[in-house]
């Protein structure tokens, strides 16, 4: 389970500060797919970044299971994120030189304090996960040899390697056509229920609303009732999205072994 309790997040804006998240409380429960919708710039990416422990809020608390993530040091927060949180971005962010199987295997190197036997156990799950997302026959292919939907499936499997308690998904269908998007949403819903993950999924597309167990709407940094309206992306949201993608890319790249000439 993940709980955000009275969370506020602000960013500097000249001599003042802009509020990205305004006293938001939200709970994601195990086995439940919670959709987060709202206009562009409303605070959805900021909310996901705080939930992922990538940004510390100004106030409030984020609890993952029984751990208060807002009280952790940077290193401890990183360890918590690697072991208990899976993240799926709009783009698959796969490493171009690695096969689908290797994309998952490299996550075993992000075990932080994990012992060797734990990493071996994680690696043993790779083929099972690829089969779960329908890619058992494509395990040896690199990203350039996969379709957009297949790459996103690899990203989902990669996020599940460490059996996270929490799965955070940011606009997983934005780069896909409607048919492929429906397949990805169905996959996320199925895996959420089968693997008992507490899933928070940010989306603009309510075509797939029927697959969501719960739905909340964010407007101007607050959870409100009513349908969202589309708008331009706020600069603060763009900065958060870039920071989140950058932080996770660094963590993944650090796990790739380097070879000498």
Residue 116 confidence (pLDDT): 59
In this structure, the number of other CB atoms found within 10 A of the CB of residue 13 comes to 11
Q: Are 96 and 143 in contact (CB under 8 A)?
A: yes
pLDDT in tens, 66-106: 999 999 999 999 989 988 999 998 888 899 999 999 999 88
Choose the weakest-confidence range: 17-31, 174-188, 191-205: 174-188
User: Which tokens sit at 199?
Assistant: 């899933």
Question: Whole-number mean pLDDT of the chain?
Answer: 83
Cα(123)–Cα(92) distance, integer angstroms: 20
pLDDT in tens, 107-156: 867 654 455 566 666 667 898 899 999 999 999 999 999 999 999 999 99
In the predicted structure, residue 4 carries a pLDDT above the cut 70: yes
């Amino acid at each position: 389970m993940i709980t955000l309790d009275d969370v506020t997040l602000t960013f500097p804006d000249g001599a003042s500060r802009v509020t990205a998240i305004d006293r938001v409380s939200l709970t994601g429960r195990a086995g439940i797919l919670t959709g987060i919708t709202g206009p562009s710039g409303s605070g959805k990416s900021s909310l996901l970044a705080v939930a992922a422990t990538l940004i510390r809020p100004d106030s409030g608390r984020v609890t993952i299971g029984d751990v208060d993530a807002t009280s952790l040091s940077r290193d401890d927060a990183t360890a918590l994120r690697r072991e208990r949180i899976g993240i799926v971005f709009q783009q698959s962010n796969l490493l171009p030189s690695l096969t689908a199987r290797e994309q998952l295997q490299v996550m075993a190197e992000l075990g932080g304090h994990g012992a060797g036997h734990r990493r071996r156990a994680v690696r043993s799950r790779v083929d099972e996960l690829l089969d779960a997302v329908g890619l058992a026959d494509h395990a040896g292919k690199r990203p350039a040899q996969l379709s957009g939907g297949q790459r996103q499936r690899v990203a989902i499997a990669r996020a599940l390697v460490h059996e996270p308690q929490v799965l955070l998904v940011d606009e997983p269908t934005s780069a896909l056509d409607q048919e492929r998007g429906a397949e990805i949403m169905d996959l996320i819903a199925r895996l959420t229920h089968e693997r008992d993950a507490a899933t928070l999924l940010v989306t603009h597309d309510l075509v797939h609303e029927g697959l969501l167990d719960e739905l909340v709407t964010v407007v101007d940094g607050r959870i409100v009732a009513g349908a969202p309206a589309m708008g331009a992306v706020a600069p603060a949201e763009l900065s958060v999205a870039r920071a989140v993608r950058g932080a996770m890319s660094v963590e993944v790249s650090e796990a790739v072994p380097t070879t000498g000439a």
